[in-house]
């Protein structure tokens, strides 16, 4: 699908679902990208279904999670052949609470004020801030500063920067309640890293709490994929017994997802 086709699909989906992020509610080898601002375009919006949530060790209500992907350009932010580097956010709960991370991100990306939901922002240019963080093992990694997005405008002239167009092959759109076969196949990631599958996006979808009976399960079954929802973990395995005895809440355990089906497109 071209970008224009994806945007038409996104507009129709937003109208059908009624999602409006402008209406808030209260309540392999890894490359270390340099710190600083990069030219970027939003090229991926991927929903992963309902996932368990916790805060400060306490279980919260499950939430629909999403991932954003950005194509980057600039010195140190693109490959030797000039093609853009792809950088994704961590999985984020989709919430319309005015104080939520999702709303903060959306307001920054929607600097033109023309979109009502994330899918309608595909292709939009932005200045993306890359920062360095240390992991628990002391490894230095790059991360997106989720509060550091800026409009792609020259601060003096206020004219837009000339940010290249991303190739159609980089665009991915996968909506949990309106999945398409093309979208499903596009989020598959081949290979392994340090003995673990890279295909975490599809695995998260298959392990979603609401996968059973979901449009995704129905889509895969319609195309001949033998897919069953992961079985619920036995009650005795949910949570840590020592923590439960201490009065701490039991956090839901996500069962291992079934094998990822390869579904040919018609």
- Taking only the tens place, the pLDDT of each residue in 131-150 is 999 999 999 999 999 999 99
Is residue 171 within 8 Å of residue 44, measured between CB atoms?
A: yes
Is residue 214 within 8 Å of residue 176, measured between CB atoms?
A: yes
pLDDT band at 24 (very low <50, low <70, confident <90, very high): low
List % helix, strand, coil for the chain (3-state, nearest 5). Answer: 25, 25, 50
Higher pLDDT, 241 or 61: 61
Tell me the pTM.
0.77
Which range among 31-40, 193-202, 228-237 shows the weakest confidence by mean pLDDT? 228-237
């Amino acid at each position: 699908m071209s970008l224009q086709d994806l945007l038409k699909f996104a507009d129709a989906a937003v109208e059908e679902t009624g999602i409006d992020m402008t209406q808030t509610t209260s309540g392999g080898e890894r490359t270390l990208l340099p710190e600083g601002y990069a030219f970027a375009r939003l090229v991926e919006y991927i929903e992963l279904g309902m996932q368990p949530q916790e805060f400060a060790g306490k279980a919260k209500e499950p939430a629909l999670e999403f991932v954003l992907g950005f194509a980057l350009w600039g010195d140190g932010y693109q490959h030797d052949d000039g093609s853009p580097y792809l950088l994704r956010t961590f999985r984020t709960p989709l919430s319309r609470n005015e104080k939520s991370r999702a709303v903060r991100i959306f307001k920054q990306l929607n600097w033109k004020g023309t979109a009502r939901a994330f899918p309608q922002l595909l292709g939009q240019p932005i200045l993306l801030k890359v920062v360095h963080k240390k992991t628990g093992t002391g490894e230095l990694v790059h991360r997106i500063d989720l509060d550091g997005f800026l409009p792609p405008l020259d601060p003096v002239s206020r004219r837009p920067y000339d940010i290249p167009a991303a190739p159609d092959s980089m665009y991915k759109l996968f909506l949990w309640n309106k999945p398409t076969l093309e979208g499903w196949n596009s989020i598959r990631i081949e290979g392994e890293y340090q003995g673990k599958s890279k295909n975490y996006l599809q695995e998260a979808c298959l392990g979603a709490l609401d996968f059973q009976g979901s449009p995704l399960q129905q889509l895969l079954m319609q195309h001949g994929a033998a897919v069953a929802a992961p079985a619920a973990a036995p009650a005795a395995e949910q949570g840590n017994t020592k923590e439960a005895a201490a009065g701490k809440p039991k956090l839901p355990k996500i069962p291992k997802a079934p094998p990822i089906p390869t579904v040919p497109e018609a």
